[in-house]
Amino acid sequence: MNCKQANQLPIKEVFESISNTQKGKETESEIWYFSPFNPNQKTPSLKLNLNLNTWYDFTIGKGGKIIDLIKELKNYSIPETLKFLSEIRGSFNSTLFSFPQQQENFFLNKNNNLSNEKKTDPVKKEILEITKIRNLKNPVLLEYIISRKINIDFAKKFLSEIYFFNNKKKKHYFACVWENKSKGWEWNNKYGKGIIGKKDVSILKSQQESSNIAIYEGFFDFLSHYTFLDKKELKNDSIILNSVTQIKKAKKFILENNYSKIYLYLDNDKAGNLATNDLLDLPFEVFDERKLYKNFKDFNDFLKNYI
């Protein structure tokens, strides 16, 4: 048995075969249990998502697939986990779990960017139709953020989760999402990233008035920086470019607001170099902070290797 096969086992049967915890609320798509990690709790905190075949325990702030569950419960290595699941697999009556995967080639077009297509027929709906935006709590998305070593509590302050429907493909998708200055929705998940609406920068204001501003190429670089600093509140205003093509908009915002110091946290690649050089021409004190992660592509790549 390999990891892919292990994660396709029915999570309800796996969990109940190795845990005697009491069951709470149950619906067709999810089941709540009292946490095996906190035997003294009074309300259920571990949720199984039967549609996605995943789990999340709000007591410990962890979740994921079956491999992650066994590793957490048994303190096993991956080889030990696979051996254990192979031994108990025969006791399950259900067949292997299967569910539709979000395909990478859907999320990325030639420009690595996805936007609403123009209407050619006023009767037809736009190809991407938002069905729901809510607070970040989907265990699959939380697992994705954790895999990037980002502090979950800090991420929840800025990220939401979006659900949208592709009318052409007749499929549903979901991702982490944040709003940009033009009310467009920038989204990101493990399969790709894109935009629903108009492309623009995202502006984050600190609670206290600041004369300094930091510029990040992507939202996960911003989250990575504050995770690295172990800060829970913004110390400066911030601009997330969402794409280096938005440099002119960032410069316009800075000039209009007359910041005194600008800190740059862009990527260590050709596009990042060009954008950094462009911003260094601003008539203020501008600091290229990439020396902190000079041997890595970006701040998140550095963070994943640092922690």
> Of 91, 106, 125, which residue is a domain's last?
91
What's the pLDDT score for residue 96? 46
Range of the domain at 297: 202-306
152, part of any domain: no
Q: How many domains does the chain have?
A: 2
**Distances from the Cα of 6 to the Cαs of 9, 66, 96, 229, 247, in angstroms?**
6, 7, 9, 37, 45
The answer, yes or no, to whether residue 125 has pLDDT greater than 60, is no
Residue 54 contacts residue 63 (beta carbons within 8 Å): yes
Domain assignment present for residue 195? The answer is no
Tens digit of each residue's pLDDT (9 = 90 or more) over 71-80? 998 888 888 8
pTM: 0.61
CATH number of the domain to which 257 belongs:
3.40.1360.10
3-state helix, strand, coil in the chain (%, to 5): 35, 25, 45
Q: Which of 76-90, 138-152, 167-181, 219-233 has the lowest average pLDDT? A: 76-90
Span 253-262, mean pLDDT? 92
pLDDT, one tens digit per residue, over 25-45 is 888 889 999 998 887 888 899
Residue 147 lies in a domain: no
Percent of the chain with pLDDT over 90: 48
Q: What is the pLDDT of residues 79-91, one digit of tens each?
A: 888 888 887 765 5
